[in-house]
Amino acid sequence: MAQATPATLRRSPFGSLIFMSRWLQLPLYLGLIVAQAFYVWQFMTSLWDLGVGLFTGHTTSHGEEVVFDEGTMIIAVLGLVDVVMIANLLIMVIIGGYETFVSRIRLDDHPDQPEWLSHVNANVLKTKLAMSIIGISSIHLLASFIEAGDTLHEPSGEKALLWQTLIHLAFIVSALALAQIDRMSVKHPSKAAAPVAEPDRAPAAR
């Protein structure tokens, strides 16, 4: 008697409904695309302010007009880098999340396919997101250290710098833990997925 193949097996309507529910995430990723467009607008606005400050010698910071010096320029450039890194984080979430949890994008023959997309999975995506968050946190921490002279004059400035450093270290520890867990899962695959070898059978005696 021929065995039924997976294509001929009757699918459960309830299971099919649960599987189709993954498309509810599509508006979320479309919303992230809109958020990325807002970041592009913010980047262009900050770049314009940087150019105005460079040529006029004055810029606006926190609603006040300040002298545009080297420190102010470094802070402005770090702000641009911060926007770019957040945009990269959004791209990872949009493309990687859609590929992992919704549907295949099927870009195997596309010349601009990201290198990391060919082997993306939930663990790889979490590790890359953690590394991106560390990079963003580093930019904010560096900007805080550059402004440390002004920050330390504030009543809670020293505590603010200390907490920022501790939070950054927490991000690093979390990323290292995720990378170690991912490495352990690769070295020790699930036993259930391993093929079970059939015992050798001695030839029957005649």
pLDDT tens digit string along 67-103? 777 777 888 888 888 888 888 888 888 888 888 888 8
Q: Yes or no: say if 46 and 79 are a contact pair by the CB < 8 Å rule.
A: yes
Q: Yes or no: say if 171 and 137 are a contact pair by the CB < 8 Å rule.
A: yes
Q: Percent of the chain having pLDDT more than 90? A: 8
How far apart are alpha carbons 30 and 181 in whole angstroms?
A: 31
The pTM of this model reads: 0.67
pLDDT at 99: 82
Domain boundaries, the chain: 24-106+113-187
Q: Concatenated DSSP letters for 10-40? A: PPPHHHHHHHHGGGGGHHHHHHHHHHHHHHH
pLDDT tens digit string along 16-53? 888 888 899 899 999 999 999 999 999 999 888 888 88
Q: Give, in order, the Cα–Cα distances in Å from 20 to each of 47, 72, 85.
A: 43, 51, 33
pLDDT at 193: 46
Q: Give, in order, the Cα–Cα distances in Å from 128 to each of 72, 124, 178.
A: 31, 6, 10
